[in-house]
Structures are given as structure tokens and as C-alpha cells.
């Protein structure tokens, strides 16, 4: 039998999506010529595509033993296998070895992804910045750095990198969406909507896009338009917790408490460790005159939050006071004051209504 036709046939099978058949053919080619590194690499690649990452690593190790020179592709693919096996340290070492052989954008991106999976955001940024020295006009790298800075709360630097990315590729929907979200965070709803209009042409079926558009309309107090956009987002991605949460907020604001309860409950089922969802569920239950369950929701919110969010304690204190339990209301108000003093200036200034409500409750409790 001849090795090369089998090799080509295997490549064709893989291109057609018939990975298992291609693997068998690559293994047959390897049996004919066990010292051909190209065959071993393709066997490893097929195993990787089938999700057999441990077996793929073993094949790549064998390929390295057979190979007479360092091979970037082997190191890179070993790194991918280790990443999916959640062996992150080994994965990073493989990617670094790959870059020592030959630098590639894709290796930098995957190494940054490993650090991001471990929530080591600064190290991920450092990797991407090194990649940008190698290819400074890569819009995908610029966008990724911008998104990481956004996740780290450094909005100014995030906007700088996203702007640089848009100057290279002005129609990239992911970058436009991220830039629009920063503009939206600064309460410039009209500016954000202009960005989103451009993104909608490229990705009309993006749930994240319609979610952000819906919250822009919410910020402009156009509640019917907000609900319409958010429901479209929910249709496109029914398992995205933030969309259900935002729908709960809009319905609560418009006084539709039964609908708000439904959406907050859905959000909690999808993401049970988000304290604000429990707090707004408690507010909704209080408006539905379910005092006992409202208190249970507040307790859960406070348990998850650990006392950092002063609005949970203030809303809890108000609900207890309205329910006729002044003693427990005083206890929660004392907790609110502790959290308020511990908060930074930016958090305190975010909602001026908090101070007004706190002062009103203080007088009502006779403190």
C-alpha cells in the first residue's frame, strides 16, 4: 500500500467532517511509516477534534520523540489539549515553548485565554500586549485587550484599545458592542444607540446587542421599547441570566410585579449566586404583600453578598419597617450604615436616592 493517497484521503474525510474515518486512515498511514512526523501530527489533530485530549497529548509526545527539530505546531496543539484537560500550567508552558520556536498570534491568543479562564486577567493582558508588539494592527488582539481592561474596571484604557481596534476594522460587531457598553455606562444612551445601530447591521441576531439596546431605552424611560428589545434578546438566548434579570427590572419599574417575579426567578435559576437578583426579587415580593418570602430573599441576598452592598441592607430595613417590624428594621439599618461608611465615594455617588431614603427611614425609626 502507498502512504500518500491514504494521507490525502484522510484529509478529505476530515474536511467533510467525518473525523473518526479520517483518524482511522491517518493511523493506517502511520502504520505504514511510523517515523513520519506529519502522520503523527494528523493523528493527534484528529484525536483532539474528537475530544480525546489525553490520547492526543500522548501522540504529540511520540511525534516530538520522532521529530529531528522543534516544531511549533506540536507545542501549540499540546497546549490546546492541556487547556481542555484543565491542566493550565502545562498548557502555558507548551504555548511558551511554541512561541520560542516561532511566534504566532493564535498561540498568544490561546495563552491569554488560559490566563483568562483562571481569572488571572493582568497576566492575560501582559500576554496580549506582547502579541501586539509582534502584530500591532491585529483588531482581534486589540479588542481582546480592551475587553479585559473593561472586565478589570479600567474603562478609559479599555475604550482606548477598542478605539484602536475600530480604527483598523470599523465594522467589527464585537468591538462596537463593547465600545457602546462603555458609552452606555457613562449614561450617554443616544451615543451608545448610534454604535449599536452599526453593530445591528452586522449581527442582527445578537442577544447581547438587543439586551444592551433594551437597557438604553430603559435609561431613556422608554419602557415599551425596552421590553420589546429585551424580549427579542430573550428569544435569541433564553438561557442568558442577565436578560431575564433586566426584564425583571423593567417590569418592576413599570409596576408589573407578577411579571417581574417571573423574570427574577428565572434569572436566579440560571445564576443563583447574584445577590442583586435576590434583592429585587424581595422588593417584588414585598409589593405583592408576601412579607415572609421577601425577608427570606433579603436574607439570601445578604448571605451571598457578605455585607458589601449597602442597598440590600437599606431595602431590607425599609421592607421590615413597612411590615411593622421596627426592631429588625433598626438592626438592618445599623448594618446599612456600616456598609455605607465602608463604601468608596464612587459607590455612594452612584445613586443619590439612597441618601434620601436612608434619611427618611432614620427619622421614621427615631434614630
Distance CA 85, CA 57 (A): 10
User: CATH assignment of 137-204?
Assistant: 1.25.40.10
Computed from CA positions of residues 58, 62, 65, 70, in that sequence, does the dihedral angle turn out positive or negative?
Answer: negative
Packing angle between helix 353-365 and helix 310-322, nearest 10 degrees? 40
Q: Give first-to-last CA distance, the chain, whole Å.
A: 93
Q: Which residue's entry shows cell 493564535?
A: 106
What pLDDT does 356 receive?
87
Cβ-based neighbours of 152, under 8 Å, separated by 6 or more: 121, 122, 125
Question: How many residues does the structure list for the chain?
Answer: 367
C-alpha cell at 367: 434614630
Packing angle between helix 275-287 and helix 310-322, nearest 10 degrees? 20
Packing angle between helix 275-287 and helix 241-253, nearest 10 degrees? 30
User: CATH assignment of 206-272?
Assistant: 1.25.40.10
What pLDDT does 1 receive?
63
What pLDDT does 340 receive?
85
What pLDDT does 233 receive?
96
Computed from CA positions of residues 81, 121, 165, 197, in that sequence, does the dihedral angle turn out positive or negative?
Answer: positive
**Tens of each residue's pLDDT in the chain, 367 residues:** 678 888 899 889 989 989 999 989 889 988 888 888 888 999 999 999 999 999 999 999 999 998 888 899 999 999 999 999 999 999 999 999 999 999 999 999 999 999 999 999 999 999 999 999 988 888 999 999 999 998 888 888 998 999 999 888 888 888 998 999 899 988 899 999 999 998 898 899 999 999 999 999 999 999 999 999 999 999 999 999 999 999 999 999 999 999 999 999 999 999 999 999 999 999 999 999 999 999 999 999 999 988 778 899 999 999 998 888 888 989 898 888 888 888 777 777 777 788 888 888 888 888 7
The full set of domain ranges for the chain reads: 137-204, 206-272, 289-367
* DSSP SS3 for 188: coil
Distance CA 50, CA 53 (A): 8
Q: Do domains 137-204 and 206-272 have the same CATH topology?
A: yes
Amino acid at each position: 500500500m502507498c502512504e500518500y493517497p491514504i494521507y490525502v484521503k484522510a484529509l478529505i474525510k476530515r474536511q467533510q467532517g467525518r473525523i473518526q474515518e479520517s483518524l482511522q486512515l491517518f493511523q493506517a498511514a502511520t502504520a505504514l511509516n511510523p517515523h513520519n512526523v506529519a502522520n503523527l501530527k494528523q493523528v493527534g489533530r484528529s484525536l483532539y477534534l474528537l475530544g480525546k485530549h489525553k490520547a492526543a497529548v500522548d501522540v504529540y509526545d511520540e511525534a516530538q520523540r520522532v521529530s529531528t527539530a522543534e516544531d511549533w505546531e506540536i507545542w501549540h496543539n499540546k497546549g490546546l489539549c492541556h487547556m481542555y484537560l484543565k491542566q493550565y500550567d502545562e498548557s502555558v508552558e507548551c504555548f511558551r515553548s511554541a512561541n520560542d520556536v516561532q511566534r504566532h498570534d493564535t498561540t498568544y491568543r490561546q495563552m491569554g485565554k488560559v490566563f483568562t479562564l483562571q481569572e488571572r486577567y493582568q497576566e492575560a493582558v501582559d500576554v496580549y500586549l506582547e502579541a501586539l508588539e509582534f502584530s500591532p494592527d491585529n483588531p482581534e488582539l486589540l479588542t481582546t485587550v480592551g475587553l479585559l481592561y473593561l472586565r478589570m474596571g479600567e474603562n478609559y484604557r479599555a475604550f482606548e484599545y477598542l478605539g484602536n481596534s475600530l480604527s483598523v476594522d470599523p465594522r467589527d460587531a464585537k468591538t462596537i458592542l463593547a465600545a457602546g457598553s462603555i458609552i452606555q455606562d457613562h449614561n450617554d444612551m443616544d451615543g451608545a444607540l448610534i454604535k449599536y445601530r452599526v453593530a445591528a447591521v452586522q449581527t442582527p441576531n445578537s442577544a447581547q446587542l438587543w439586551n444592551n439596546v433594551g437597557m438604553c431605552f430603559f435609561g431613556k424611560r422608554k419602557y415599551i421599547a425596552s421590553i420589546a428589545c429585551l424580549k427579542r434578546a430573550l428569544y435569541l438566548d433564553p438561557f442568558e441570566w442577565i436578560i431575564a434579570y433586566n426584564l425583571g427590572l423593567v417590569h418592576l419599574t413599570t409596576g408589573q410585579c407578577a411579571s417581574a417575579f417571573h423574570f427574577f426567578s428565572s434569572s436566579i435559576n440560571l445564576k443563583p449566586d447574584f445577590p442583586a437578583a435576590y434583592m429585587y426579587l424581595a422588593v417584588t415580593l414585598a409589593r405583592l404583600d408576601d412579607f415572609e418570602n421577601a425577608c427570606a430573599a433579603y436574607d439570601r441576598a445578604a448571605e451571598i453578598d457578605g455585607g458589601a452592598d449597602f442597598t440590600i441592607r437599606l431595602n431590607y430595613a425599609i421592607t421590615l419597617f413597612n411590615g411593622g417590624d421596627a426592631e429588625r428594621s433598626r438592626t438592618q439599618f445599623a448594618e446599612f450604615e456600616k456598609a455605607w461608611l465602608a463604601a468608596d465615594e464612587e459607590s455612594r455617588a452612584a445613586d443619590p436616592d439612597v441618601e434620601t431614603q436612608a434619611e427618611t427611614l432614620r427619622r421614621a425609626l427615631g434614630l
